[in-house]
Amino acid sequence: MYIFSTIVKSYLKDVLRSTFCVGKFKLKACNMITLISNIECYCPKYAGQRDILLVGDKIYKIGKPDSFREYAKVADFVPGNGLLAFPGILDGHVHITGGGGEAGFISRIAEIDIQDIIQAGITTVVGLLGADHLTRSLTGLLAKAKALEAQGITTYLYVGSYAVPIITFTSSITGDMVLIDKVIGVGEIAISDHRSSHPRMKELLQVATQAHLGGLISGKAGIVHFHVGDGKAGMGPLVELADASDLPIEQFVPTHVNRNPRLFQQALDYCRLGGYIDLTSGEEAGIKVPDAIQMLMENQVDLQKVTISSDANGSVPEGGIGEIQTLYDDIVECITGKQIPVETAFGMVTENVAKQLTLFPQKGVLSEGSDADILITDSDFTLRRLYGKGKLLINT
């Protein structure tokens, strides 16, 4: 009883009393304390063998093996010998309500399923609309995001779609960002694409300014997320916008930049200017992610400005549907096929994304006080366990 009393006092000192389950057996049953012991940690920086103590939805402590032995009797004890721990993956571009529809009604793509998300090691997604903002809606997007969050992951949204003017909840981009918790930016606005509304520079600047102001007031990223197509202009409109604006270049994030070699070269130059670039996993017609990362490293590009997303449940240029599993598969291929350092590869889907979206250090890192989003694999990077905000989502 003395040990348990000590634990309770420590918990109450650091965590809100209202979330505490009273009583030893009730505490264990609701998994309020989890001890992952002697696991090899990539935070995503390599940290060696560590014990990780979860209390509620947070990482409470990280220490050397056997640092938290006194918690073992009341914790859900997870032996980590031979296993690897990473932050849960963030996917910044997911058509959670489905995309497609560009080849007629029969080509509409279904909503994403929570099992597909968690089986890919993903604990945070950003949902968005694409070309179809008529039969898909922002209200449907918000409802789906809330449903996914109720199933254990964290969700955010971009307002808008391919087209300008931007569709919003409140008739104001700034208003959406300030008043709706899940809205963290605008996107995906299409440029250099036959499906684009071909917005003028003044229109794009107005959108970016409203997003920036909304970000300042709400403490959010204020990202403007750009779909870049195969059109002749390539990254040109985005470079022009960055040159014409007094806003930080990090606010303008182009995606699908590995769709062809010409666009990828432009993206490389854009990254050198200080901007973020977002690669799309599962790319077959253009440059595959592992090849793109290798090329970026050879050109000494700052990989902290590079993120990777799946475009899951959206339509892909060569036909078919974007699959969320390709995000995890491409990361593993970077490590096993291209010998890219483990912490570098996982950093592009964890820490880099969290910093881009101003969610760091709540997300994207294994650190005391961060959300308990933890991906656990074996030495071959096969998924074994996944925690979303302290809740066990997968156990194989």
Which class for 94: exposed (0-12), middle (13-18), buried (19 or more C-beta within 10 A)? Answer: buried
Instruction: For residue 175, give both structure tokens.
Output: 């208003």
| DSSP conformation class of 364 | S
Active site (annotated) includes residue 311: yes
Angle separating helix axes 201-218 and 236-244, nearest 10 degrees: 60
Residues in Cβ contact with 17 at an 8 Å cutoff, skipping those fewer than 6 apart: none
Which class for 380: exposed (0-12), middle (13-18), buried (19 or more C-beta within 10 A)? Answer: exposed
| DSSP conformation class of 360 | T
Q: Which helix (H) or strand (E) segment is 91 a member of?
A: strand 89-94
Hey, how many other C-beta atoms are within 10 angstroms of the C-beta on 145?
23
Residue 258 CA to its chain's centroid (Å): 18
Residues in Cβ contact with 187 at an 8 Å cutoff, skipping those fewer than 6 apart: 128, 158, 160, 223, 224, 225, 226, 227, 253
Residues in Cβ contact with 26 at an 8 Å cutoff, skipping those fewer than 6 apart: none
Instruction: For residue 67, give both structure tokens.
Output: 């640092």
| DSSP conformation class of 355 | H
Residues in Cβ contact with 248 at an 8 Å cutoff, skipping those fewer than 6 apart: none
Pick the catalytic residue from 91, 132, 176, 311.
Answer: 311
Residue 129 near residue 314, CB atoms below 8 Å: no
Instruction: Give the residue numbers marked as catalytic.
Output: 311
